[in-house]
Structure 1
Amino acid sequence: MIHEPSDQHVDAHPQVHYFSIFIALCICTALSVLFDVVHLTPKLLVFFVLAVAIAKAMFVMTYFMHLKFEGKWKFIILAPTTILALGLVIALAPDMAMHYYASDAPQVRAFEAAAEGLNPPPPQTEPDQMSPGGAQN
């Protein structure tokens, strides 16, 4: 029995017009440059440039990485990555935001003294064990 191609066969990956995606990416890049040239407030500039960058990333992910044509399994693969990324942020939060230790380095004291216009305090050193006055016999 010979398999005859039918007209009902649906292509798994529809035809994508990559040139139109390229044009959209060029327009997004032009918008980024335009927002940078036009003098906007810094907050507004950051918002617009990040919005355009997210749009460009979505174009690339959706069409060039073919995520538009994948099934639901892409979310199953993304779930452990998301959990690990959130876990990493939670694990590093004490070091990033919650300062649970005081920085009492000599450089910090010297900088604070210089900022107040005072002479920096002399460095506190421990007695040298090899010097005649520091050795205890």
Structure 2
Amino acid sequence: HRHSNSIDELTLAGAATPLEAADSAAKKAIADDDRLAELASVDPKRAKRILANRQSAARSKERKIRYTGELERKVQTLQAEATTLTAQITLLQRDTNGLTAENKELKMKLQSLEQQAHLRDALNEALKNEVHQLKIAAASI
């Protein structure tokens, strides 16, 4: 039995343009239908099987087209989502950089305040010692 050619195969087989290939494919389909009708009178089971195979191939082609369309829509959706997420990452990185700088500044302020507190404690201790020494000196007078 004979396999049907695709439009691409017909173009390669001698059609100069896609339009000629489509015209050639249409003529071939008519010829195939005529042969199928002739075969139906000679071998009806085989003709029925060939027709069922053609219908199955057409359904398969439709499923493939739908699936390809779904995949293309999914790609577009995922690309849009990736763009959105990239923008969010940029904003979050900017926020993180700002918070890191603020944290560093606050740590420096804290360190400065701790140093000041340490100096005050040392000064207070020195003043307490001086007061204590003065009390001892005053008591001995």
Q: TM-score, length-normalised on structure 1? A: 0.28
Q: Which has the larger radius of gyration?
A: 2
Task: Considering fraction of residues, name the structure with more helix.
Answer: 2
